[in-house]
Amino acid sequence: MEKEEHLTAISKSANVKLMGGKSNILTPKQERFVRNVFSGMTQRQSWIQAGYSSKYPVAVVDSNACSLFNTKKIQARYKELQAAADDATIMPVKERRQRLSEIARARLTDYVTEKGIKIDKDSPNTAALQAVRTRIQYHKKGTMPEIVTDIKLHSPTEAIDLLNKIDHIYSEPLPQVNDNRQYNILVADEVTKQSIARLLSGERRQEIVTDGH
């Protein structure tokens, strides 16, 4: 019992040492530990594989591993690894441009040789291939059937359109402003009222006749 308490005290002291520094820079062991956890190992396995001592009882090892994993800098590094993994699954803008450029540049002649259709790892602009179908075509009786390969490409004009949108080549239309303001004009005499009415109806050259004011 005393031995176990002594080991626990030692592990707590070691754990304080691990957690004591304020620097966010990980030691090589800490980096291995967090990468091990990220790869799917248990905290205990990660602790041992990282090179930390496993001579203590399992409960102590688990406690140390759990405490280390929950430190701020280990958590921060773990989130960095998660973010990097998430970003790797998303096609960056440069790669999207490259893929769309392949579609825009592809021609059926890229896949036609003297011996027929050929598509392999060395073929250019393979991102443009939408469908490749092979069928057997029969002719007159007694003749050998032939293998026919049909190729369908993605639309190059749609690819170019998307590239233009990514690069913001299309100008933004100017917003339309609807002026719904109303003006109330108070007119004293009938002649001026009729003149203004003609102007509003389009008779802009009509001379306005007033009562001399």
Q: Distance between CA 132 and CA 112 in Å, rounded?
A: 13
Is residue 203 pLDDT above 50, yes or no? yes
Inform me whether the pLDDT recorded for 44 exceeds 70: yes
Q: To the nearest whole number, what is the mean pLDDT of the chain? A: 77
The pLDDT assigned to 112 comes to 83
What letters, b where the CB count within 10 A reaches 16 and e where it falls short, cover 116-136?
Answer: eeeeeeeeebebbbeeeeeee
- Cα–Cα–Cα angle for 164, 167, 173, nearest 5°? 70
Two tokens, residue 16 = 């304080």
pTM over 0.85: no
Nearest to 77 by CA among 39, 40, 33, 34: 34
Q: Which residue has the tokens 């009415």?
A: 197
Other CB atoms within 10 Å distance of the CB of residue 170: 9
Give the separation between CA 80 and CA 67, rounded to whole angstroms.
19
* Partners of 149 in beta bridges: 134
* Per-residue pLDDT reduced to its tens digit, 133-163: 888 888 777 677 888 888 889 999 999 998 8
| pLDDT tens, residue by residue, 12-26 | 434 434 444 455 789
pLDDT tens figures, 184-195: 666 667 777 777
